[in-house]
Amino acid sequence: MACSAGISEQLEHFSRRPAYLLLTAVLFALPGKAFAYRPFVSTDADVVDAGEIEIEFGYFNWERADSENSYVTPQLVFNYGLSNSLELVGEFDVEHSPGGKSQLVDPSLFLKKVFKPGVLQGSQGVSFAVEAGLLLPSAIDEEDQSGFEAFGIFSGSASNFTWHLNLGGGVDRANHDAFALWGVIVEHSVTSSLKLVAEFNGESLRSEAAENSGLLGMVWESSAIPGLTLDLGIRHGSSRAAPDWGATMGLSYSF
């Protein structure tokens, strides 16, 4: 009950902020086409069209680890199509700790390029893309340096399922230690507007325990508001280093 009350208070607090209301209003007002690669940590082997902007807006993200709750809102990803096979990706989160402190975390800037068109581009076979870029300094004290991350992305389909595989690594912001990362997304269309989704992903930093977790969720495209896609997911840690539980809700829009 205490946890539910805390979440309700956070939602009420952020809903009163004019910036959040303005951003939500803009997203609802703009005509567009939804791509929706929330609620995943991993991504797909596709990019937005040239000149198109896609916004992924996580308006509520909760994690519970070691009996403490933390909240991340907003969680924002901006994608801009430089060409029909290349996009610029910028992202950042604002984390709110139990003590009331808010700080910018995980800012990054990437380029993502499709090297082999496939099922996601209306062609035959597996789509292949690479995303690489800078992990910018974070407000967290021990993460005040720049890092680097790069990974390959494969997307394909089988029967009524679509899958996306991410494999890569880089060096972190803290001590420039090497890390490896991986992720698998599986999607299943239940109706023309509703997909059930699952993700298994992890990150392993040299000399530290792997942080692995799984997510179950859904993605729903509204027929009443063309272009609006809503998502929600529940995440559970499968290794000791990962948060015990998490939840996320958000939307995606492009114009």
Select from 2.60.120.1440, 3.10.20.30, 2.40.160.40, 3.30.530.20 the CATH code of 2-254: 2.40.160.40
∠ CA 97-235-80 to the nearest 5 degrees?
Answer: 80
User: How many whole angstroms separate alpha carbon 248 and alpha carbon 234?
Assistant: 7
User: How many whole angstroms separate alpha carbon 208 and alpha carbon 251?
Assistant: 33
Q: What is the pLDDT of residues 165-187, one digit of tens each?
A: 999 999 999 889 999 999 999 99
Q: Which residues, 6 or more positions from 89, have their beta carbon under 8 angstroms from its beta carbon?
A: 77, 78, 79, 108, 109, 110, 111, 112, 131, 133
**pLDDT score recorded for residue 60:** 86
Structure tokens at 214: 């799984």
Sign of the torsion formed by the C-alpha atoms of 50, 51, 52 and 55: positive
Q: Give the predicted TM-score (pTM) of the model.
A: 0.83
- 142: DSSP letter: G
Q: What is the pLDDT of residues 69-93, one digit of tens each?
A: 888 888 899 999 999 999 999 999 8
Model confidence at 219: pLDDT above 90: yes
| Phi–psi pair at 247, nearest 5 degrees | -145, 145
Where are the strands (E) in 136-244, listed by range? 147-158, 161-171, 178-189, 194-205, 211-221, 229-237
